[in-house]
Amino acid sequence: MSNSGNETSAGESRDGEKRDGEIIVKGNREESKYMLDIIVSDPQKRSPDNGSSSYVTYQVSTKTNRPSYIRNHQSSGGDEEEGGAEEVLVVVHRRFSDFELLYHVLLNDYPTCIIPPLPNKKIFQYIAGDRFSNSFTQKRCHSLQNFLRRISKHPMLSQSNMLEFFLISSDWEVYKKKLNGTFSNVIHNNNKEEMTEVIMNAFKSVHSQNEMFVEIKKNTEKFESNISKIDKTFSKIVKKNELIIDDYFKVHSNFKDLQEVMTGEEPEGNSLPEKIKTFNSGVIKLSYSLNDLNKFYSFEFLTDMRNLEQYINSLKSLIKLKDQKQIDYEELSEYLSKSLHERDTLLRTYSHGSGGGDMAGAIGGHTNGSGGGGGAAAAISTTTDDEDAHASHRGSTTKTRSKYLLSTTNNFITNKLEEIAGFNQEQIKRDKLKSLETKIESLTAEVRTSKIVTEEFEAECLEEIKLFEKIKNNELRQSLNNLVDHNLQFYEDMHKTWSTINSSLQSHS
């Protein structure tokens, strides 16, 4: 991890994943025994005195019994109860850019975790000036609530010192200015490296995919498709309900006008105007209740579904990063196989074209540290076994033979041209062999390290996906329960309202 990354964590020493060179150390994903409840609410428009552009702040309320939160809150001037508080409630105000900074720091500090996504910046609302509208700020507030709740439910992310500082610090603005200066370069460099890696591996795919990840990708795509269908269906429902609500208000207005006309023209004691008034009260209640239900669909349920789609994209990004590391490992392995094949081919040309045991012995002495034809025979025997093993790794024997024949032909032509030019063939071959041995030694070490990194990263991904599934299932269950509760409440209220109206109308008959 970079120095800037450490600075962003304010000297953080966490139990999460760490890196020792390129090797990932498995992090602690055990559930915390402490409570961390976070609520984001009350979006407010702020206009700075210095004339800069307006912005929206969100109230972030944190209730927790974590000792470090209580200790740091009290040391910063918070309420200190006699005998020590068992839990604290801390309220701060943060703007969207503060949430963005928290997101990027977590993304940098926890590369093997699925970092919950922030709501998208809706450019159209910024251009049109709607970013201060009640609809926009309420939906964003709900999305930010989902963002922090997912972090609080994650055993590793919830332990972040950066999160603690974000939630309770009264010196956030000072820290933020310092952090922005050092962390902006880290974000830029990380984005540049990720873009380079994506472009390099854009047209490559994993050759040997773990069956578990094949199943995970399949299930993820299916789940994403279902969520997308729910999104589209309820978006249509919201639009249709808006039209129905508008029609109900028009009906209410027309009945109100009719009631006034009937009251002025009908003889005193006529019950018809009262019946119209009673019926019209039910229409207006239906309008308001349906409007409240539709707001729940739009502001909460649909926002939850869209946030869930973004959360799925974060999972897919982590899997893609895992695939890129595996592609790197496979590319290195293929490069090593080609180098081994080239060395083996070079040794074969020595044994067939060097003119006897003296050349074979010289080459054998170079490669195995012993002189004579026996050393060459041992070298050729060893490398032949290596070739067979690596040919099996690369694919079919036919493909390996074709590569060997092509390489042998090329070497034969090259050797003849060098003989005509008067080059020292023996010295050239020794230099080539020495260079190949050095390359193979380096590649072998790189392949070994890359394999360790790939396997560790894959193991971390599988653990992270288990956490993702748990958080996702709990969220979906809660969203669907809320959907059921709001619909039940709507129909129960309507049944009660219209039962009362029906009784009233019958009494006036």
Do both 348 and 449 map to the same domain?
yes
Same domain, 377 and 494: yes
pLDDT at 180: 72
Domain assignment present for 210: no
Residue 93 lies in a domain: yes
- At 431, the amino acid letter reads D
> pTM for the whole thing?
0.74
In this prediction, residue 347 carries a pLDDT of 81
Helix axes 172-200, 161-168, angle to 10 degrees: 140
Q: Are strands 55-64 and 88-95 parallel, antiparallel or unpaired?
A: antiparallel
What distance in Å separates the CA atoms of residue 377 and residue 361, rounded to the nearest whole number? 8
Q: What is the pLDDT of residue 360?
A: 41
The reply to whether 192 and 306 lie within a common domain is: no
- Nearest CA among 450, 190, 219, 451 for reference residue 319: 219
Distance CA 400, CA 498 (A): 82
Q: Are residues 181 and 46 located together in one domain of the fold?
A: yes
Residues 166 and 302 in one domain: no
DSSP 3-state of 156 = coil
pLDDT of residue 477: 96
Q: Domain span at residue 508?
A: 292-509
- End of a domain among 169, 200, 231? 200
CATH of residue 183's domain is: 3.30.1520.10
Burial class of residue 121, CB neighbours in 10 A (0-12, 13-18, 19+)? exposed
For residues 66 and 49, the answer to whether their CB atoms sit within 8 Å is: no
| pLDDT for residue 77 | 62
**Domain tally for the chain?**
2
Whether residues 44 and 191 share a domain: the answer is yes
**Is the torsion defined by CA of 351, 352, 358, 363 positive or negative?**
negative
State whether 305 and 430 are in the same domain: yes
Q: Does 259 fall in a domain?
A: no
Does residue 65 belong to any structural domain of this protein?
yes
13 located within any domain: yes
- pLDDT tens profile 434-466: 888 888 888 889 889 888 988 899 899 999 999
Please give the pLDDT value at position 435: 85
Tell me which residue of 142, 143, 147 sits closest to 103, measured CA to CA: 147
Pair 71, 176 in one domain: yes
Cα 364 to chain centroid, rounded: 54
- With respect to residue 212, please indicate whether it lies within any of the assigned structural domains: no
User: Could you count the other beta carbons within 10 Å of the beta carbon of residue 94?
Assistant: 20
Span 62-98, pLDDT tens digits:
999 998 888 887 776 665 554 456 888 999 999 999 9
Q: Choose among 122, 124, 118: nearest CA to 103.
A: 118
CB 8 within 8 A of CB 175: no
Among 200, 223, 247, give the residue marking a domain's end.
Answer: 200
Whether 245 is in a domain gets the answer: no
Q: Is residue 278 part of a domain?
A: no
Q: How far apart are CA 335 and CA 440, in angstroms?
A: 9
Cβ-proximal residues to 373 (8 Å cutoff; 6+ apart), any chain: 356, 357, 360, 361, 364
In a shared domain, residues 26 and 132: yes
Q: What per-residue confidence (pLDDT) applies to 389?
A: 40
**Residues 6+ away with beta carbon under 8 Å from 503:** none
Looking at the fold, whether 179 and 321 belong to one and the same domain comes out as no
Q: Are residues 182 and 57 in the same domain?
A: yes
**Do residues 310 and 413 both lie within one domain?**
yes
What is the Cβ-side half-sphere exposure of residue 33, based on CA atoms within 13 angstroms?
A: 1
Domain end marker among 178, 200, 222: 200
| Count of H-run helices and E-run strands, the chain | 14, 5
Query: Which residues are CB-neighbours of 21 under 8 A, at least 6 positions away?
Result: 449
pLDDT at 294: 96
> Which residue ranges of the chain lie beneath pLDDT 70?
1-32, 51, 76-85, 122-129, 181-203, 264-270, 350-425, 508-509
**Count of CB atoms situated within 10 Å of the CB of 273:** 17
